[in-house]
């Protein structure tokens, strides 16, 4: 294994992580809600009673942030697919289904779960990083 | 006011994803590619992200919030098969697409066949999980 990241990239990662932590921490401290994106999107698509308003607002915020980046930070948004579209479609379904079955995604288990010292969050994060690494390894061997 | 806080939180969250490079599938797959040129950036993102969330939680847990309910004092510790199976499948999808739910939404600001496919398929997966067959009440984030 050979690590590859320059100092600028490390600083940007730390700054970006701090913004994410600020967003999730403020949402928790001010409203008691968890910034777990898969659960938020689920609430929006199924019209969850009592929670729909703030969840829809969070999703709109994510989208608005995307538009700000599109205008202000060239290269911040994804442009090309890393794999063939049928694989993206299969992967996307697994992302949505797996996150809801397991009760969290990168933000819910990774950021908020670990942030709340939750055993579920730590376990979920370790599992999806492991299967993610295994998938990329297999794709590299087979592709 | 809760709506305003949620909107601003989502916006800042997206800016953080963009600043860190985590909207780019190549950066995410670089972190997962331990047999290649491994890119540890995702760990540098997770550190302050989880750290600041932890600070907010340790500071305010069990207390009321200005625009919502009380912040839960206890965290979820129950481990079950659904957690491991779900997280396992999520990781496979993450390794195929390089995209998780937050970036799938924010990347819609620049629609392409890739971003539309990733988001559409993710929503399809969420809807699939809502089928009675896959429903069971339990802890979740």
B117 and B54, same structural domain?
Answer: no
B64 and B21, same structural domain?
Answer: yes
pLDDT exceeds 70 at position A77:
yes
B53 and B14, same structural domain?
Answer: yes
B84 and B54, same structural domain?
Answer: no
Total number of residues shown for chain A: 143
Query: If we measure between CA atoms, which residue out of A61, A48, A103 comes closest to residue B2?
Result: A61
How many domains does chain B fold into? 2
Q: Do B13 and A62 touch (CB under 8 A)?
A: yes
State pLDDT tens for residues B50-86: 999 999 999 999 999 999 988 988 888 889 999 999 9
Q: Is the minimum CB–CB distance between A44 and chain B shorter than 8 Å?
A: no
Q: Do B97 and A133 touch (CB under 8 A)?
A: no
DSSP letter string, B61-84: TTS-BTTBSPPPSSPP----HHHH
B46 and B59, same structural domain?
Answer: yes
What pTM value is reported for the model?
A: 0.95
User: How does DSSP classify residue A30?
Assistant: H
State pLDDT tens for residues B89-111: 999 999 999 999 999 999 999 99
Q: Which residues of A touch B85 (CB under 8 A)?
A: 98, 101-102
Residue B55's domain spans which residues? 1-75
Query: If we measure between CA atoms, which residue out of B85, B128, B22, B84 comes closest to residue A93?
Result: B128
Total number of residues shown for chain B: 141
Domain boundary among B45, B75, B105: B75
B141 and B98, same structural domain?
Answer: yes
Q: Do A135 and B32 touch (CB under 8 A)?
A: yes
* Phi–psi pair at A5, nearest 5 degrees: -165, 130
B109 and B82, same structural domain?
Answer: yes
Model ipTM?
Answer: 0.96
DSSP-derived 3-state class of residue B50:
helix
Asked whether B39 and A31 are in contact (CB, 8 A), the reply is no
B117 and B107, same structural domain?
Answer: yes
């Amino acid at each position: 294994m050979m690590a590859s990241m320059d100092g600028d990239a490390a600083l940007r990662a730390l700054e970006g992580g701090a913004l994410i932590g600020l967003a999730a921490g403020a949402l928790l401290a001010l409203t008691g809600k968890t910034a777990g994106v898969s659960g938020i999107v689920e609430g929006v698509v199924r019209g969850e009673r009592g929670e729909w308003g703030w969840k829809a607002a969070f999703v709109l915020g994510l989208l608005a942030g995307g538009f700000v980046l599109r205008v202000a930070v060239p290269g911040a948004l994804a442009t090309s697919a890393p794999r063939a579209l049928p694989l993206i479609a299969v992967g996307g379904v697994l992302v949505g289904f797996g996150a809801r079955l397991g009760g969290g995604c990168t933000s819910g288990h990774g950021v908020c779960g670990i942030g709340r010292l939750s055993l579920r969050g730590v376990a979920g994060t370790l599992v999806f990083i492991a299967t993610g690494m295994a998938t990329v390894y297999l794709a590299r061997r087979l592709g | 006011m809760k709506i305003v806080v949620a909107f601003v939180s989502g916006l800042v969250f997206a800016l953080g994803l963009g600043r860190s490079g985590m909207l780019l599938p190549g950066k995410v797959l670089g972190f997962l590619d331990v047999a290649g040129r491994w890119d540890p950036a995702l760990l540098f993102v997770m550190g302050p992200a989880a750290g600041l969330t932890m600070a907010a939680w340790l500071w305010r847990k069990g207390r009321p919030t200005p625009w919502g309910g009380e912040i839960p004092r206890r965290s979820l510790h129950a481990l079950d098969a659904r957690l491991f199976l779900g997280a396992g499948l999520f990781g496979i999808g993450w390794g195929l697409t390089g995209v998780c739910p937050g970036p799938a939404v924010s990347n819609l600001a620049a629609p392409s066949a890739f971003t539309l496919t990733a988001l559409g398929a993710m929503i399809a997966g969420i809807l699939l999980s809502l089928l009675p067959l896959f429903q069971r009440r339990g802890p979740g984030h």
